[in-house]
Amino acid sequence: MPVHRHRNCRPHERKWQRWCVDRGLKDEWLVKLNALQAFRLVSICEGHARDQRGSGNACPHINLRMESDLADIMYRNWEQMSSYLSADLRCYFNPDTTRASAELDIRIPLDSDVNSSFKKLVVRLSCVRRRASEDMESEIVEWFENVVTSCRWRKAPCRTGRLPRRSKIADINRHAGEPK
C-alpha cells in the first residue's frame, strides 16, 4: 500500500520510486496503474495471510480515485454516468474473481467563505479470494494481471469476449488525455 515517502518500509514492503509497497507487487503493475490519466492509484495491497492474532488484510485490492475535474463531470451527470460506470465495471471485471464498487464523495468545507464543494469518485476493486500463504499464490498473480489490464479500459477486451459497446469510462480516459 503506498505510504508517505518519509516512513521506513516495513519488513513485508520494498521501496518503489518514493513509496513503500508490498514486496509481491510487480513494478509493471505499479507503472501501468500510475500511468492512468483519469484515475490516480490511491491504495494497492497484495493481501496478506492472517497472522496468529487474526490481523491482516487478507484480500488483495486496488483503489483508484478519479481526478477531481472528471469527478465533477461524473457528479453533474450522475444519473447517466453511474449507469455507464456500472456497465463498464460489469463488462471489464469478472464478479467470480473481483468485487467492484464506486463511491461518489461530496465534501463541503464549512470554514470557507466560497460556496464550493469537493467531489471525488473512488473505484474499489478487491479480489474475492483471500491470501492463504505468505508467498503470492498463482491465482492472486493472475487476478492482478487481469485487473491491471482491465483498469486500462480501452486496451482491455470485455471479459465476455464480445466487443463491448463504446466504453464511457474509456471516453473519460480519452478526455483526460490517455492515448488510445
pLDDT digits (tens, 9 = 90+) for 71-101: 888 888 888 888 888 888 888 899 999 999 9
Rounded to whole angstroms, the Cα distance separating 109 from 14 reads 37
Residue 62 banded pLDDT, cuts 50, 70, 90: very high
Please give the residue that has the higher pLDDT: either 33 or 117. Answer: 33
Instruction: Number of helices (H) and strands (E) in the chain: give both, helices first.
Output: 5, 6
User: What pLDDT score does 154 carry?
Assistant: 53
User: What pLDDT score does 179 carry?
Assistant: 45
User: What pLDDT score does 46 carry?
Assistant: 94
Over residues 5-16, the mean pLDDT reads 83
Mean per-residue pLDDT over the chain, rounded: 81
**pTM, 2 dp:** 0.81
Over residues 26-53, the mean pLDDT reads 86
* CA torsion, ordered 69, 72, 77, 80, to nearest 10 deg: 70
Residue 177, pLDDT > 50, answer yes
Rounded to whole angstroms, the Cα distance separating 8 from 46 reads 19
User: What pLDDT score does 145 carry?
Assistant: 95
The DSSP string of 120-135 is: EEEEEEEESSPP-SSS
